[in-house]
């Protein structure tokens, strides 16, 4: 009797158990930080076989996402480019994804005729983003500093690249390619360096006091590493928009510490003190890069800044103005409402061969 009841209980448990794929399969989103930000390259499903005859055209990918500075959701859809068996599972490759992946709040992947292959955003158990995953969180509450840090394995002290993000771009590793290229294996093989990317919340970014405190916190981190992990004579600041402004401000505040500055479309029209202190950069090599028809920061701001630094006696200041053709070739489109407007000069600067030239220049600089 006891055996019969046990067998009956087992049969009932199997009958009412969730479907096998919901229990056994694992879904991984494999993403990459491209010039368009973090995009999914493939969804990898293990523990579930791909039925014969399933095609990429059987899949639909739909969902809702936010955007820069937006709290509302907008719908998106994306086709599948390929589906293939992979070991004990299968992988789905989307076409060009229409939104940065970290903005996605809802996603439904559906397969016509095979609903056992369906999955939602909540079913994805892991997201893998090479290089970005190699950064670690560093926090200094006293300086209001929260930063992502990449530290290479090296046999000698390495240079430090401090990367400041733009206003609102607190997903600073995933929004665009300003921090990531410095930490990529190919670059590190030629120029091993540490990368520290502070995260500055929107509510704090407009405060010069807060920005200065965060810069002090970054220097505190460098001092803690100096002499055995990083080279304090080869500290470089860079950033785009508000980040370009902060990169310049940090060099003004600490001209004895910063060996060179790479400022992309710096928002110096938001920093009265920053503009007045440009003569502090008389001894610091500076490159400023901006699109000629930047819709957000007038290019004259950069022209005036470069002229002021040069007038202070700096023989090593360069102003690089990108033409409309160059910005179009980089993938930008004229118009402040465009997702990748001409304000996004990083589209041109942070990709080869331009990036290689800027990096070579930067790493030649050293404090005496």
Residue 285 lies in a domain: yes
Token pair, residue 146, equals 């929260």
Q: Write down the pLDDT at residue 5.
A: 41
Domain endpoint, select from 113, 128, 143: 128
Edge-to-edge strand ranges of the sheet holding 145-150:
136-140, 145-150, 194-198, 158-164, 230-240, 260-264, 286-291, 317-322
Q: Write down the pLDDT at residue 42.
A: 98
Do 165 and 70 reside in the same domain of the chain?
A: no
| CB contact at 8 A, 195 and 150 | yes
CA 261 to each of CA 47, 153, 165, 232, 289: distance values in angstroms, whole numbers, following the listed order: 50, 25, 14, 15, 11
Q: Write down the pLDDT at residue 227.
A: 67
Q: 186: buried, middle or exposed (CB in 10 Å: 19+, 13-18, 0-12)?
A: exposed
Beta bridge partners of 323: none
| CB contact at 8 A, 147 and 199 | yes
| CB contact at 8 A, 218 and 169 | no
Sign of CA dihedral 294, 300, 305, 310: positive
Helix, strand counts (H, E) of the chain:
12, 17
Q: What is the DSSP letter of 271?
A: -
CA separation for the pair 247, 230 (Å, rounded): 19
Q: What is the pTM of this model?
A: 0.91
Closest CA to 193 of 306, 6, 360: 360
CA separation for the pair 236, 284 (Å, rounded): 10
Which CATH number characterizes residue 33's domain? 2.60.40
CA separation for the pair 281, 208 (Å, rounded): 18
Do 291 and 244 reside in the same domain of the chain?
A: yes
Sign of CA dihedral 279, 350, 196, 294: positive
Do 71 and 177 reside in the same domain of the chain?
A: no
The number of folded domains in the chain is: 2
Do 277 and 233 reside in the same domain of the chain?
A: yes
Using one digit for the tens of pLDDT, what is the confidence trace for 189-241? 999 999 999 999 999 999 999 999 999 999 999 999 876 899 999 999 999 99
Q: Write down the pLDDT at residue 267.
A: 97
Do 175 and 112 reside in the same domain of the chain?
A: no
Token pair, residue 179, equals 């921090």
| CB contact at 8 A, 249 and 274 | yes
Do 122 and 144 reside in the same domain of the chain?
A: no
Residue 79 lies in a domain: yes
| CB contact at 8 A, 221 and 140 | yes
Helix (H) or strand (E) holding 108: strand 104-111
C-alpha count within 13 angstroms, C-beta hemisphere, residue 136: 5
Closest CA to 220 of 159, 182, 212, 286: 212
Do 20 and 108 reside in the same domain of the chain?
A: yes
Q: Give me the residue label for tokens 């739909």.
A: 62
Q: Write down the pLDDT at residue 197.
A: 98
Q: Along the chain (368 residues), what's the average pLDDT of each consecutive run of 10 residues? A: 43 42 80 97 97 96 92 94 94 95 97 97 97 97 95 94 96 96 97 97 93 96 87 97 98 97 97 94 98 97 98 96 98 89 97 96 96
Domain endpoint, select from 95, 113, 128: 128
Query: Cα 17 from chain centroid?
Result: 42
Domain endpoint, select from 75, 108, 128: 128
Q: Containing domain of residue 90, as a range?
A: 16-128
Do 100 and 196 reside in the same domain of the chain?
A: no
Q: Write down the pLDDT at residue 199.
A: 97
Q: 12: buried, middle or exposed (CB in 10 Å: 19+, 13-18, 0-12)?
A: exposed
CA separation for the pair 114, 296 (Å, rounded): 48
- Total Cβ atoms within 10 A of residue 144: 19
Which CATH number characterizes residue 283's domain? 3.40.50.1820
Q: Write down the pLDDT at residue 338.
A: 85
Do 68 and 87 reside in the same domain of the chain?
A: yes
CA separation for the pair 265, 235 (Å, rounded): 21
Helices (H), 98-207: 180-183, 185-190, 202-205
- Terminal Cα-to-Cα distance of the chain (whole angstroms): 89
Residue 175 lies in a domain: yes
């Amino acid at each position: 009797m006891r055996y019969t009841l046990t067998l009956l209980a087992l049969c009932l448990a199997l009958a009412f158990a969730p479907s096998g794929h919901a229990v056994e399969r694992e879904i991984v989103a494999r993403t990459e930080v491209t010039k368009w930000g973090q995009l999914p390259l493939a969804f990898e499903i293990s523990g579930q076989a791909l039925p014969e005859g399933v095609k990429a055209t059987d899949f639909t990918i739909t969902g809702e996402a936010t955007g820069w500075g937006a709290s509302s959701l907008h719908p998106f859809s994306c086709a599948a480019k390929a589906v293939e068996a992979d070991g004990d599972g299968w992988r789905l490759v989307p076409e060009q994804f229409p939104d940065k992946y970290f903005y996605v709040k809802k996603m439904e992947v559906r397969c016509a005729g095979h609903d056992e292959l369906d999955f939602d955003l909540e079913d994805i158990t892991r997201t893998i983003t090479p290089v970005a995953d190699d950064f670690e969180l560093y926090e200094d509450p006293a300086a209001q500093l929260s930063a992502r840090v990449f530290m290479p394995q090296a046999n000698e002290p390495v240079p430090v690249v401090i990367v400041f993000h733009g206003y609102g771009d607190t997903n600073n590793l995933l929004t665009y390619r300003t921090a990531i290229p410095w930490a990529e294996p190919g670059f590190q093989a030629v120029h091993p360096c540490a990368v520290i990317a502070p995260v500055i919340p929107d509510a704090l970014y407009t405060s010069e006091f807060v920005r200065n405190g965060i810069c002090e916190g970054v220097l505190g981190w460098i001092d803690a590493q100096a002499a055995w992990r990083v080279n304090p004579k080869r500290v470089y600041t860079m950033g785009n928009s508000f980040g370009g402004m902060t990169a310049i401000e940090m060099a003004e505040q600490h001209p004895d510490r910063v060996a060179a500055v790479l400022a992309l479309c710096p928002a110096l029209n938001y920093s009265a003190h920053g503009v007045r202190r440009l003569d502090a950069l008389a001894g610091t090599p500076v490159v400023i890069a901006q699109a000629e028809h930047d819709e957000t920061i007038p290019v004259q701001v950069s022209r005036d800044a470069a002229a002021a630094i040069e007038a202070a006696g700096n023989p090593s200041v360069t102003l690089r103005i990108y033409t409309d053709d160059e910005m179009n070739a980089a993938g930008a489109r004229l118009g402040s409402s465009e997702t990748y407007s001409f304000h996004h000069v990083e589209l041109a600067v942070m990709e080869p061969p331009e990036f290689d030239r800027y990096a070579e220049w930067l790493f030649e600089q050293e404090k005496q």
